[in-house]
Structure 1
Amino acid sequence: MRIAFVAAEVAPFAKAGGLADVVASLPKTLAKLGLETAIFVPRYGSTQGGMAKVVSCSVDFGGERNEVVVFRALLPKSNVPVFFLDFPPYFGRPGIYGEGGEDYPDNLRRFAFFSKAALISTSAISWFPDIFHIHDWHTALLPLYKRELGVPGKTVLTIHNLAFQGWFPRKEWELLGLSPEDLALAGSGDWLCALRVGLILADFLTTVSPTYAQEILEDGLGLDEILRSRAQDLVGILNGIDQEEWDPRSDRYLWTTYSERDLRGKAFNRRLLLQALGLSRGGPLVAMVGRLTEQKGIDLVLAGLERMMTLGISLVVLGTGDPKYEQSFREAEKRWPQNLKVLLEFSEEWAHKVIASADFLLMPSRFEPCGLTQLYALRYGTIPIVRATGGLRDTVQDVDEGGNGFVFHEYTAEAMLGALARAVKLWREDRKALLALRRKALLGDYSWDRPARQYLAVYERVLSR
């Protein structure tokens, strides 16, 4: 069975978020199950790594014939090929989706072109997939172009975050040269939706956790009718993580490694992180790692920050996002210089260091389709404090119920502070129980093994139709 992954991102070559990690990890695990997998992504101006030219192909798009050059590399530590589609007018730019906090205005054209080029490139390299596994709105037009070009194979669309649907003004859509019937698949009115096309035309739909699958059927963010009509073709499959890349026993980014048998290395990393960031050593170290957006519950943190500080914690915030949140954290850092450090950057090294060193990870998300950061934290014995939503509900259970973390339900600062206070109490009063909780987390299986088998079952189901 041949599976072509077609996506806007793949780590480590082009990454803006968790999508890149999923696209890098799942094909490798499927290959171990005997499937033949390959990945197709744009070659951005910022794409790093050695690659070899394979072939050129022509893509008719927007009334013009365009030449695309296909390059090839391998995913690190695997034999899975990655095919990079090079077309500088659309992709020879520093950003993946935009620059300076603004999206590129021609993103619809860029990713529509990529979707069509990916189909043509499979024929150009004489590699014919049984399944095109497409991801989010960026590749949601691929089933439409597949039908237009007569390319065989089935399509599976994974929704990583329904909040990102690819809405663009009608004048942008008209530049694609679609027929009125095809254009109607994107909706009606002055603004049309790319994801809508994929939801209608893909042979099967998946999303990234069972709870999120149920949530989007209850509230489809404007796409309710279509999602409910496809309910029998929708399953939620939890993401895994790359347990070789995220492994406290061999992590190249850490000051020292550690395991469940000897946690002294975690304490050593904690001490050096506090020293490097100039933070107090007197209380538990809490980390937040991710985008600073409303989705991630940043408004709860800012609303409750003063009360959080009275608990005697040190807080490290790593990530970038909404300028108003960044500014609020900068101001708060000046107020509590010994207890709050804000690293407004995206850094793999700092992500590994912070997650490994922290006592607790805070994820008070408004919604969370799956979430990978809580899985990274558990892998490193860092106990998550989460709101019960989406994949957080599926991966973190409360310690009071024999689980692996601290869970709250209401989306309020008070509920978040209650869960945090329980974690701090455990840290101060029962180190033996906390140590057992860390060891339990470190021994968990967060790999792609089970999810990959579930995806294989989806592929077999689709091909049997």
Structure 2
Amino acid sequence: MKVLFACSEAYPLAKTGGLGDVGGALPRALARLGVQVRLLLPAYKTTLEHARPQGLKLLREFTISGAPVKLWQSRLTGSRVPVWLVDIPEFSDRDGGLYGDSTGADWPDNPYRFYMFCKVAEAIALNNIGLQWQPDVVHANDWQTGLLPALLAQHTAAPASVFTIHNLAYRGIFDYQAFSSLNLPEHWWHHERLEFWGNFSYLKAGLVYADAITTVSPSYAEEIKTEAFGCGLEGLLTYRAHCLSGIVNGIDTDTWNPGSDRHLEVNYNRRTLKRKAFNKAALQRELGLPEHDSLALVGFIGRLVEQKGIALLLEALPSLLQQQRCQLVVIGSGQAEFETALIALQARFPQQVSVTIGYDEGLSHRIEAGSDIFLMPSLFEPCGLNQMYSQRYGTIPVAHFVGGLRDTIVNFSDSSGAIDATHTSALDNVDETGFLFSEASGTALASALNHALTCFDNPLLWRKLQDNAMSQDFAWGKSARTYLELYRQTLSATTRSSDVTDQAAVL
């Protein structure tokens, strides 16, 4: 099986969020199953810098849509997975973020940048640039590669296409002027194809034309067919439900391993869980909080945006902090009003709250290891990774009952938490790994967190929950095998009939 995995980011070469984690981990897992996978990435300026220690080789120079392109080859760090980097000036000659400038504003030429990326992927998929390698399946990811299944659908000899939605909220919406400037087929400007409420959507292109559609958890696959979570695409997703499946993401268990994590004060595992306390004390010292072993330390890592439930956190925490039930550590950045409110919360409770605006990979690992409880009050969450990282580190998640959170956390529903600590047999039937709340409100979050804190005060019960959590298998192996089976099924079922035009210009 040969797979071209097209993605706009992949850790450690390029990352802004969970997509980067998947882009860096799933190709590795597929390669371990014997798949001949090639990872295709934009050659962002920073990506070329990160790739240079692995070696950079110029494979080809050619033109796409009249523009010069260089294709570099490197290797995914820690693996033998070849990485092909699409080098156009709009990627490689630009400082700033992957999708926008230093102020957070999107690059105005994003439609063109990712059109070119998809066109190069199309040319590789059709073996039109002399690489002598043609994939059986092209796996595209999120809106940045949404045009790719549509481009492939024009060719009778194209590989099968799989399109994964990592977050439906990011739909890649642009106006007709952008559509026209890319010289896309005019008949694509139609509500049954790319047109979307007077604009057009890159992500919708993938949903319309891909041979198979996946998203990153079974629950999210069901949720996005509803008006509440469908972002205006629920009708299309319901229509294509026979092609839609949910596959839970795995996690990189080498990078996220408390037994070998180089960012931690002390390494530990299930058998040496008592050592986790050293990481809690070290984190408290690092962040200027009093060292309280018996006071629960609650962690949050993530974007400070509405989706992540920051408003719920700000509503729920003050009363618990006022009662001195816990400490809170936060790292993240995002909307200014949330950053300001969290800094104000820290000023109000300086002995209990630490807020770090920005992102620090090492500190994120130390928060996972040092916290007792991890908060994920997301209003929606396609999959989520931190709840899986947390369980691996023996840090118990408190999360909203949505998407991948409900698929990866087993809710402890005993509201009393009063398991008899003198009888270990009372714990035999406890197989839960965390706490879930159903209503998207600060009150519901506060109730779930209070429940968790009550259980934290029962050491025997808490140790059992930690042991359950750390026993979960969130490695990529199972998910990769599911993807491989999907590739096989899609390949055997794929035919090219509608929208095929062999005269379509590729180069």
Equivalent-residue separation in structure 1 for 2:323 and 2:138 (angstroms): 50
Do structure 1's residue 294 and structure 2's residue 306 form an aligned pair? yes
Give the superposition deviation at 1:91. Answer: 4.3
* Correspondence 1:240 to 2:268: no
The aligned counterpart of 2:17 is 17
Deviation per residue, 1:278-319 (Å, 9 max, x gap): 113332100001111111100111122311313421101111
Q: Which residue of 2 aligns with 1:440?
A: 468
C-alpha displacement of 1:323: 1.5
Q: 1:193 aligns with which of 181, 197, 201?
A: 201
Higher relative contact order (CA 8 A, sep 6+): 2
CA distance in 2, matches of 1:89, 1:206: 30
* Residue 500 (structure 2) aligns with: none
1:410 aligned partner, one-letter code: E
- The Cα of 1:109 is off from its aligned counterpart by 1.3
For 2:454, the equivalent position in structure 1 comes to: 425
Range 25-34 or range 14-23, more displaced: 25-34
Deviation at 1:130, TM superposition (A): 0.5
Is the deviation greater in 389-398 or in 184-193?
Answer: 184-193
Which residues of 2 match residues 233-272 of structure 1 at below 5 A? 233-272=243-282
- 1:373-412 equivalences under 5 Å are 373-400=386-413, 402-412=431-441
Preserved CA contact (<8 Å) 2:9 2:15? yes
Distance in structure 1 (CA, Å) of the matches to 2:451 and 2:46: 44
Rg bigger for which structure? 2
In the alignment, the residues of structure 2 paired with residue 20 and residue 271 of structure 1 have an alpha-carbon distance, to the nearest angstrom, of 31
CA contact (8 A) 1:6 1:132 kept: yes
Determine which of 287, 290, 315 is the counterpart of 2:328. Answer: 315
| Aligned partner of 1:106 among 87, 104, 109 | 109
Aligned match of 1:202: 210
Residue 74 of structure 1, CA deviation: 1.4
Query: Per-residue displacement from partner, 1:136-180 (whole Å, max 9, x unpaired)?
Result: 110010122224566620100000011111111211111101121
Task: For residue 82 of structure 1, give the secondary structure of its aligned residue in structure 2.
Answer: strand
- One-letter code aligned to 1:86: D
Give, in whole Å, the separation in 2 of the partners of 1:39 and 1:215: 30
Q: Distance in 2 between matches of 1:108 and 1:96?
A: 13
Q: Mark the runs of 5 or more structure 2 residues left unpaired by the alignment.
A: 415-430, 494-507
TM-score normalised by the chain length of structure 2: 0.88
Decide which of 311, 317, 325 is 1:305's aligned counterpart: 317
Deviation at 1:344, TM superposition (A): 1.0
Aligned equivalent of 1:183, options 160, 179, 189 = 189
- Structure 2 residue corresponding to 1:152, chosen from 158, 169, 174: 158
Distance 2:371 2:77 in 1: 28
Q: Secondary structure at the match of 1:152?
A: coil
State the aligned residue count.
Answer: 461
1:140 matched to 2:139 = no
1: CA distance, partners of 2:157 / 2:146? 16
The residue type paired with residue 58 of structure 1 is F
Partner of 1:227, secondary structure, is helix
Distance 2:323 2:23 in 1: 39
Check whether the contact 1:132–1:153 (CA below 8 A) recurs between aligned residues. Answer: yes
Residue 118 in 1 paired to residue 132 in 2?
Answer: no
The one-letter code of the counterpart of 1:315 is: L
**Contact preservation (8 Å) 2:43, 2:91:** no
Q: Distance in 1 between matches of 2:37 and 2:134?
A: 11
Structure 1 residues 55 and 150 mapped into 2: Cα distance closer, same or farther (>3 Å)? farther
Write the distance in 2 (CA, Å) between the matches of 1:306 and 1:120. 56
What residue identity is the alignment partner of 1:308?
L
Indicate if the aligned counterparts of 2:59 and 2:73 stay in contact, CA closer than 8 A.
no
Distance 1:301 1:60, change over 3 A: same
Matched, 1:462 2:462: no
Residue of structure 2 in register with 1:35 after alignment: 35
Deviates more, 1:247-256 or 1:70-79: 70-79
Distance in 1 (CA, whole Å) between partners of 2:158 and 2:63 is 18
- 1:57 alignment partner AA: E
Counterpart AA for 2:63: V
The CA deviation at 1:189 is 5.2
Q: CA deviation at 1:334?
A: 1.3
Instruction: Choose from 379, 384, 389 the match for 1:371.
Output: 384
Deviation at 1:188, TM superposition (A): 5.4
Following superposition, the deviation at residue 44 of structure 1 comes to 0.6
Q: 1:105 to 1:12 in 2, by over 3 A?
A: same
**Which residue among 146, 161, 166 is the counterpart of 2:172?**
166
Indicate if the aligned counterparts of 2:57 and 2:74 stay in contact, CA closer than 8 A: no
What is residue 81 of structure 2 aligned with on the other side?
80
The answer for unaligned runs of 5 or more in structure 1 is none
**Aligned-pair CA distance for 1:92:** 2.7
| CA displacement, residues 33-61 of structure 1 (integer Å, 9 cap, x when unaligned) | 11111100001112223131232333333
| Structure 1 contact 247–379 (Cα < 8 Å) conserved | yes
Per the alignment, residue 51 of structure 2 pairs with 49
**CA distance 1:449–1:249, shift in 2 (3 Å):** same
Report the residue type matching 1:293 in the other structure.
V
Percent identical: 39
Counterpart code for 1:53: K
| CA distance in 1 between partners of 2:472 and 2:242 (Å) | 31
8 Å contact kept, 1:59–1:120: no
Preserved contact between residue 57 and residue 120 of structure 1 (Cα < 8 Å):
no
CA positional deviation for 1:96: 0.4
Q: For residues 149 and 311 of structure 1, do their structure 2 counterparts lie closer, same or farther at Cα, with a shift above 3 Å needed? A: farther
Cα pair 1:57 1:121 within 8 Å, conserved: no
CA RMSD, Structure 1 to Structure 2 (Å):
1.5
C-alpha separation in 2, matches of 1:96 and 1:177:
24
> Matches of 1:355 and 1:250 in 2, distance apart?
14
Indicate the larger mover: 178-187 or 349-358: 178-187
Contact 1:241–1:447 at 8 Å: present in 2 too? yes
- Report the CA distance between 1:265 and its aligned residue: 2.2
CA distance in 1, matches of 2:198, 2:213: 27
Q: Alignment partner for residue 97 of structure 1, among 82, 96, 99?
A: 99
Check whether the contact 1:364–1:416 (CA below 8 A) recurs between aligned residues.
yes
Per the TM alignment, residue 121 of structure 1 is displaced from its structure 2 partner at its CA by 4.1
Distance 2:452 2:90 in 1: 51
TM-score (norm. length: structure 1): 0.96
Aligned residue among 122, 127, 133 for 1:127:
133
